[in-house]
Amino acid sequence: MYADLSCSSGRSTERPVLIGIYGGTFDPLHYGHLRVAEELIDTICFDQFFFVPAGEPRLRDSPGASKHHRVRMVSLSIQNNTRFSMDDRETKRSGVSTTVSTLQEYHQEYDGKAVLCFVIGADAFVKIHCWHHWRELFQLCHLIIVERPGCIRVSDSTQLPQKILSECASRWTTDPRDLVRHFSGMIYTADTTLLDISATQIRSLVKTGKSIRYLLPDITLDYIKTHNLYSGKNEFR
Ligand SMILES: Nc1ncnc2c1ncn2[C@@H]1O[C@H](COP(=O)(O)OP(=O)(O)OP(=O)(O)O)[C@@H](O)[C@H]1O
Ligand SMILES: O=C(O)c1ccc[n+]([C@@H]2O[C@H](COP(=O)([O-])O)[C@@H](O)[C@H]2O)c1
């Protein structure tokens, strides 16, 4: 068994490289995402933690802001936090983004020696059986599920689609040490602060001329204003 996973105990040389990957459309990135990431890094001593903006998302309408703007907003939002990094690989790919291909690329780059933890909100998890080659995810990574206000609590829910229930039955854990005891396939339910913030709400507030202050970093707010994003007025996004 590997040593303690918490950051305060220092990194054990016995354990594998642990990578956190937080994928999202990030249209725009907001404090809901940022707070979750900060709390997860306090609980799990990741060697690296990446925000990975999706290029062309598969199961939703086109984003309100272009890839270029979404990447810029992520990068501005995280610029003062040395624990966060951004990986824009999906926005450089042509065609739709699939998480399986991103995870496969990470494994190639780390020579199969890294353990990957993909962070996903409960609202996204309940639709995971619609993702491209979704069962393969469990061979490639662990999932870290963060609950969201207004969404069912996935860890104790029998309301999940049957396909998910049967695939995931033996995978649940609340012990972060399971993330290094196994190479992949665990589903860790994280107890992070529930912040009722969504990108949909932010876009809608901008569109109706209302304030979005305190929902996301000021620097991102300034960027949205400067580039006239989400107002419905900018023709050249
Ligand atoms: N407030 C939040 N708390 C916890 N997880 C969140 C929160 N907001 C988003 N997430 C999760 O972050 C990931 C990326 O989310 P996304 O970029 O789509 O943001 P969103 O706020 O859900 O956007 P939208 O309202 O446009 O759907 C998803 O897995 C989503 O479930
Ligand atoms: O691989 C897929 O088929 C797939 C389908 C839907 C969503 N995802 C990923 O899930 C993450 C959250 O997506 P979203 O749409 O909730 O912002 C993001 O990294 C997406 O690329 C992945």
In this prediction, residue 159 has a pLDDT band, given cuts at 50, 70 and 90, of confident
Beta-bridge mates of residue 20: 49, 117
Residue whose C-alpha is closest to residue 32's, from 119, 134, 113, 115: 119
Ligand 2 pocket by C-beta < 6 Å: which residues? Answer: 23-25, 52, 54, 57-60, 97-100, 124, 131-132
Domain boundaries, the chain: 17-196
- Which option is the CATH number for 17-196: 3.40.190.170, 3.40.50.620, 3.30.499.10, 3.30.470.20? 3.40.50.620
The DSSP code for 56 is B
Looking from the CA of residue 53, the nearest atom of ligand 2 is 19
Helix (H) or strand (E) holding 172: strand 172-173
pLDDT mean over 54-71 = 93
Q: Contact at 8 Å (CB) between 126 and 162?
A: no
- Reported ipTM: 0.99
Query: CA–CA separation, 114 vs 193, rounded Å?
Result: 28
pTM of the model: 0.95
Backbone angles phi, psi at 20, to 5 degrees: -95, 135
Distance from residue 121's CA to the centre of ligand 1 (Å): 6
